[in-house]
Amino acid sequence: MTVLRQSAMRELERLPEDKVGFVLQIMQGVNGLYNDNHSKRESAFARLEQLRKKGTVVDYDAELASYREEKYGK
């Protein structure tokens, strides 16, 4: 067990019994946030990958010149 965990355990042992429930709820909430964020992030990335269009532009300078010509007539 790491020093940090040992310190946390000592603090928990010093808490009155009626306060331990609050700490437990906080710990469960933090753990739930981490797990939910990770899965939400992965599913959002998968949706973005599905929506992403593959680019067909090979010559970016020519593409930019074409847009400028279309917009400004130069």
Residue 68 has a pLDDT of: 92
Residue 21 has a pLDDT of: 87
CA distance 22 to 73: 68
Please classify residue 8 by burial: count the beta carbons closer than 10 Å to its beta carbon, then call 0-12 exposed, 13-18 middle and 19+ buried: middle
Residue 7 has a pLDDT of: 92
Q: Which residue has the higher pLDDT, 56 or 15?
A: 15
- Band (pLDDT 50/70/90 cuts) for residue 74 is low
CA distance 34 to 27: 11
What residue segments make up the domains of the chain, in order of their start?
A: 16-72
Amino acid at 71: K
CA distance 14 to 58: 67
Span 19-57, pLDDT tens digits: 888 888 888 887 766 666 667 788 888 888 888 877 777
